[in-house]
Amino acid sequence: MSFRTCRFPRLRTLIAAALAGVFTISAKAEGAVLQNWFDDPFLQVSSDMPGCPQPRGPYMTEAERTSEAHSRIERGTSCWLAGACAEPNSYRYDASIAQAVGRQADKEVFNGSSIWLTVQRRFIRAEGCVTDRRQAQAIERWLGGIADVERVIVEVMQGTRDRPPYRTMEAPK
């Protein structure tokens, strides 16, 4: 009898959970590789503040990818089902949003900062280091004016000395 045809669904669930735990532990022990599994746009729009920790952005482990896959499908299609998107999946907007940001990048808004942007499901997440709170607010306003952007999330720190409010490439948070 194969695992799939097991007549004891609860036992099958326990076995699957145990195997998932083993794979997660081995990935952590080996220093899991981070990848941008879903090809979400991730771009650095400014680099004026040396020493600013690089965010993880859309990079994740294979275990994180597995746990994200189903919810991404649901979140992506809910926009279309609600009649709020012309595209059948809200992730289809991401590449054009990233291109629009690249074409329109207002250097005045980003002067003195180090900012990375992740575009996922019509959301733009800005992470990095800014000179002050007013700059963070200006970045949020500017990004919110890009066509097809539904939400802007700004997670930045002032300067480079504090612990960043976002996950970094160096240390998962």
Q: Determine the pLDDT at residue 84.
A: 84
- CA torsion 46→52→55→61, rounded to 10°? 130
Residue in 95, 96, 114 with CA at minimum distance from that of residue 39: 95
Cα–Cα distance, 82 to 100 (Å, whole number): 25
Cα–Cα distance, 32 to 41 (Å, whole number): 22
Give per-residue pLDDT as tens, 65-99: 999 998 888 888 888 889 888 888 889 999 999 99
Residue in 110, 93, 108 with CA at minimum distance from that of residue 146: 93
Is this structure's pTM higher than 0.95? no
Q: Determine the pLDDT at residue 2.
A: 41
How would you write 87-149 as a 3-class SS string? CCCHHHHHHHHHHHHHHHCCHHHHCCCEEEEEEECCEEEEEEEECCHHHHHHHHHHHHCCCCC
